[in-house]
Amino acid sequence: MEVTSNLLTPRRATRQISVGSVKVGGDAVVSVQSMTTTKTSDVEGTLQQIYALASAGADIVRCTCNETAAAEGLAQIVARSPVPIVADIHFHVEMALAALDAGVDGLRLNPGNLRKPSEIKLVASEAKDRGVPIRIGVNAGSLHPDIYERFGGATPEALVESARIELAYFQEVGFDDVKISVKASSVATMIAAYRLASATFDYPLHLGVTEAGPPPGGLVKGTAGIATLLAEGIGDTIRYSLTADPVEEARAGRQLLESLGLRERSSLDLIACPSCGRAEVDVIKVATEAQEALSSLNLPIQVAVMGCVVNGPGEARHADLGIAAGKKRGHLFIRGQIIRVVPEDEMVAALVEEAKKLVAEGVEARLAARDLSAEAEAAADRAALLDFQGADANHATERIEKIRRRGSGESSTK
């Protein structure tokens, strides 16, 4: 799939930093992040989760570093991780320094918790010496009390001011290898804060709605905030903050970027009509079975499940592959062209079989291998369905005649 980000507001120009091997900001693609939920001292358990996150689409993974045992665990994890590792630091400057000694690829500092200017500058100096970037991770729930009081709460202005103060400490020691986040659990506050941050700083921005909660509500809130900003050209790296298995965060982030055309498709994208009275099969059941059967294959294609053979192939002609359900039969199509007609009970199996062949052989080869009689069969099915249901089921002709009579001054009751 081609990246279609040019259809959105162009990405704002930012500085570029490197988190290990991953570029963030500038002309780099928007990256996906998540955070482990294991004890970092549990090296094997944490690595297992990191590998699962990477497989689900995470480009960068954050691990907590809240104790010496966690820092020791990081020293082993970093060397074996498939993606760059960022250490999450809240209260203890010693843990930030220990994480740097462990060889992490980045730090996240919470300005509301690590407050002493001398300690902040010490960490920045040490990070500068090692070429390790730092995220200034402002959070509405942990603002410095002085800033909270001055702005009358966790306002967008307060969040950005917290980041500005932290950045000023960094600049005192000549450190500018920085990205910034200004997260809030309120979607509206989060959006306003990032818009202000985008207008204030030229550093890359890490997007997220903090404490979004469990799915589906957490997914809705995260998407509402992150997608709004990405569509405006704001944001260089993202994280969903869900009360769920972090793999769900990585998967959601990747799917969002692919849906917006900001990353090339790397996994299945199944689209389906919502069904209606015209459907001759249980579209929801077929779509669910197709999703389950195809997801495990991890094929980078878009597949459509449509409930109407009359409109389905045309409405989903942009899909790589699809099935349109008729009465006891399904029309299998590639890019809107019918390639085979299959029995109703074979529709999902036919989708899976054709999906594998499509990825292996390509669109042109599969179109060349189509059943030449399929289009005629499909046309006959469409004609029969129209005859059965009526081509004008919504009485459009009658409505148009009424409109014309009204326009000519005749009574609409005639």
pLDDT 10s digits, 135-169 = 999 999 999 999 999 999 999 999 999 999 999 99
Domain end point (choices 206, 224, 259)? 259
Same domain, yes or no: 32 and 171: yes
Tell me if the bond preceding 216 is cis, omega within 30° of 0: yes
Residue 337 to residue 272: CA distance in whole angstroms: 17
Same domain (yes/no): 33, 162:
yes
Residue 264 resides in a domain: no
Is 250 in the same domain as 318? no
Tell me, what CATH number does 378's domain have?
3.30.413.10
Task: Please report the pLDDT score of residue 185 as a whole number.
Answer: 96
Same domain, 59 and 91: yes
Q: Is residue 227 part of a domain?
A: yes
CA distance 141 to 99: 24
Last residue of a domain, one of 212, 227, 259: 259
Q: How far apart are CA 181 and CA 192, in angstroms?
A: 12
Is 335 domain-assigned? yes
Output the six-digit token pair for 411.
């009574």
pLDDT number for residue 248: 96
Q: Is 25:203 a contact under the CB 8 Å cutoff?
A: yes
Residue 304 lies in a domain: yes
What distance in Å separates the CA atoms of residue 110 and residue 162, rounded to the nearest whole number?
10
What pLDDT was estimated at residue 2? 41
Q: Tell me which residues of the chain have a pLDDT lower than 70.
A: 1-6, 275-280, 386-397, 410-414
Do residue 283 and residue 255 come from a single domain? no
Q: Are residues 107 and 138 in the same domain?
A: yes
290/213 same-domain check: no
Total domains, the chain: 2
pLDDT, position 397: 63
Domain of 377, in residue numbers: 269-389
Co-location of 209 and 348 in the same domain: no
